[in-house]
Chains A and B, each alone.
Chain A
Amino acid sequence: MNDVHLLLRWWKRTPPLATADAFAAVYEQTHVRVFRYIYGLHNGSATEAEDLVAETFLRAWQARHRFEGDDDAALGWLLQIARRLVIDAHRRQGHRNHAALSALPDVPATQLMPDEHAVDRDQLRMLHEQLARLPDEQREILVLRYLVGWQVQEIAAQLGTSDNNVSVQIRRSLARLRRNWPHDEEDV
């Protein structure tokens, strides 16, 4: 076969995550954001979230030949896998009840906040609890916006909705978080 033609086929058809090196590079670039997404979405402990992160990347590795996008698209693809795993975990463990929230993880402060003096740890704990009480869609949008760090347009593309809807949901979610926030500081 003509070399030129073969090369063009080769370029176009090589799955971008096919090799261990390419996959490892994507892992390095994305695993923190995948962890934050799962941790924000899942009501369990950081340890459980880490297990789900590992499972997400293992599933992605097994399906890597089916992924055709570029590096930017890889994170969205990974988050879709992670989302399914979180839903499965909720179904298995019955995590979507508020009783489970009382057993929220005692995550070391250094894991929760790099600058532990900047933000009160108890407030973060409260935030995690309140986040878990939001409707699924609102919670996911907040997690994508603030924990993953995506812009409104990226969130809309990922969730297949409009920019306007994402913006509205963010405002409503923040208002809802405020309404649900305990009155007394002792509650915190």
Chain B
Amino acid sequence: MNEHDKRPPEEQIEALLEGWQPLPSARLQQRVADLPWNQRSKPMKRSRRMRWAGAMAAVLALLIGVTLSVPSLRATAAELLGFANEKSDTTEKTVTFVGPPALQGSVAAVEAQAGFHVREPTYLPSGFVFNKAMYSQYSDGKRSLVQYQSSGGQPAQRSMGIVIEAAQWRYDPHAKQIAVGASANIENVSINGFAGQYVKGMWVPAPGTCDQGCGIEKPTPAPGDTENMRFQWNADVSIYVVRWQEGDMVYQVLASGDQFTKDEVLKIAQSLR
């Protein structure tokens, strides 16, 4: 290099680039403060909603307490809460597509919105990590969903979810049972002393119904859209479900993936805290 050349060598220019860390000013924060994603509920409003949700939960708990204290009502409630076999392994269902969840974020954020404690498992199979938590309010109740996902493989095949729902959903006469196929083997299980049920399998689109692709791969329809679909119960698919009720809460652990076993899904369920 020419000794009279005062230009910095490339290494110095590179170091200059690496040290250059421009930051936006506070003006940017002011600029985005009014943009749509920052137009969320004020804390006071949320706290009012939580108080209202708490009051409703208390009333609901009282109603459930009365229901469970009367044997005939208790039997009816138990029937409403469990899995039930349909008359055949083939069925037609009207699918109503749900919209995006009202809230998606951390467990704490979902908990604040839901107004109930969102349990998380203390045991997870190796490789699974928290992915996201969601909350939705439906006409028949409210539910939170915490999803854990494996770092490898296809998400739809290796995902595990935990669903925690409010019990009033179960008392809706139009959504009273989770129907499974006639051949589905519903097993009674105990989760930390609470009666529950376990089933393996799921409804899959019947052959010829979705030649162009449907089910989970179908393009997203608009929320509220409905369609009639024909399903067939498949007990061989690696979907494992265990559900049980504690007080006014219904819990469901759903695991999807070839690596799961019944014992492992029950272990996850028992670890919910």
Specify the main secondary structure of chain A where it touches its partner: helix
* Interface presence of B236 (CB below 8 A): no
The contact sample of 8 A-B pairs, CB cut-off 8 A, is A1-B95, A2-B203, A5-B231, A10-B101, A21-B104, A32-B24, A112-B22, A123-B16
Interchain nearest-CB distance for B22 vs A (Å) = 5
A-to-B contact residues, CB < 8 Å:
1-16, 18-25, 27, 31-32, 35-36, 39-40, 46-47, 49-51, 53-54, 57-58, 61, 65, 107-108, 111-115, 118-119, 123-124, 127, 142, 145-147, 174-175, 177-179, 181-185
* Interface presence of B129 (CB below 8 A): no
Interchain nearest-CB distance for B97 vs A (Å) = 8
- 7 further interface pairs, Cβ-Cβ under 8 Å (given A8-B156, A24-B40, A114-B23): A1-B93, A1-B95, A54-B35, A123-B8, A142-B17, A147-B21, A178-B7
**Bound: A159/B134 CA distance, A:** 34
How many A-B pairs with Cβ below 8 Å?
187
**Set B8, B31, B35, B159: member contacting A178, Cβ < 8 A:** B8
Interchain nearest-CB distance for A93 vs B (Å) = 19
Q: Judging by beta carbons under 8 Å apart, are A27 and B32 in contact? A: yes
* Interface presence of B25 (CB below 8 A): yes
Q: Judging by beta carbons under 8 Å apart, are B25 and A12 in contact? A: no
**Bound: A10/B94 CA distance, A:** 16
**Set A1, A19, A24: member contacting B100, Cβ < 8 A:** A19
What chain B residues lie within 8 Å of A50 (beta carbons)?
A: 24-25, 27-28, 31
What chain A residues lie within 8 Å of B231 (beta carbons)?
A: 2, 5
**Bound: A161/B213 CA distance, A:** 33
B1-24 interface (Cβ within 8 A of A): 5-10, 13-14, 16-24
What chain A residues lie within 8 Å of B37 (beta carbons)?
A: 20, 23-24, 27, 57, 61
Interchain nearest-CB distance for B182 vs A (Å) = 14
What chain B residues lie within 8 Å of A31 (beta carbons)?
A: 24, 28, 32
**Bound: A168/B42 CA distance, A:** 52
**Set B23, B93, B102, B105: member contacting A2, Cβ < 8 A:** B93
What chain B residues lie within 8 Å of A6 (beta carbons)?
A: 95, 98
**Bound: A61/B18 CA distance, A:** 31
Q: Judging by beta carbons under 8 Å apart, are A119 and B254 in contact? A: no
Q: Judging by beta carbons under 8 Å apart, are A112 and B20 in contact? A: yes
Q: A14-B101, A127-B16 are in contact. Are A35 and B93 (CB under 8 A)?
A: no
**Bound: A54/B24 CA distance, A:** 11
Q: Judging by beta carbons under 8 Å apart, are B7 and A21 in contact? A: no
Q: A5-B215, A25-B105 are in contact. Are A18 and B14 (CB under 8 A)?
A: no
Q: Judging by beta carbons under 8 Å apart, are B8 and A181 in contact? A: yes
**Bound: A21/B17 CA distance, A:** 34
**Bound: A63/B18 CA distance, A:** 33
Residue in chain A with minimal CB distance to B165: A3
Interchain nearest-CB distance for A130 vs B (Å) = 9
Q: A19-B105, A54-B28, A111-B22 are in contact. Are A14 and B100 (CB under 8 A)?
A: yes
Task: Name the residue in B97, B104, B203, B254 with the highest tally of chain A Cβ atoms < 10 Å from its Cβ.
Answer: B104
Q: Judging by beta carbons under 8 Å apart, are B10 and A178 in contact? A: yes
Residue in chain A with minimal CB distance to B100: A18
Q: Judging by beta carbons under 8 Å apart, are B202 and A2 in contact? A: yes
What chain B residues lie within 8 Å of A174 (beta carbons)?
A: 10, 13-14
Q: A11-B161, A22-B104, A184-B6 are in contact. Are A61 and B36 (CB under 8 A)?
A: yes
Q: Judging by beta carbons under 8 Å apart, are B6 and A183 in contact? A: yes
Q: Judging by beta carbons under 8 Å apart, are B9 and A19 in contact? A: no
What chain B residues lie within 8 Å of A175 (beta carbons)?
A: 10
5 A-B pairs with the lowest CB-CB distances in the bound complex, closest first: A146-B17, A21-B105, A23-B37, A18-B100, A181-B7
Q: Judging by beta carbons under 8 Å apart, are B38 and A20 in contact? A: yes
**Bound: A184/B6 CA distance, A:** 7
Q: Judging by beta carbons under 8 Å apart, are B20 and A146 in contact? A: yes
What chain B residues lie within 8 Å of A181 (beta carbons)?
A: 7-8, 13
**Bound: A45/B134 CA distance, A:** 40
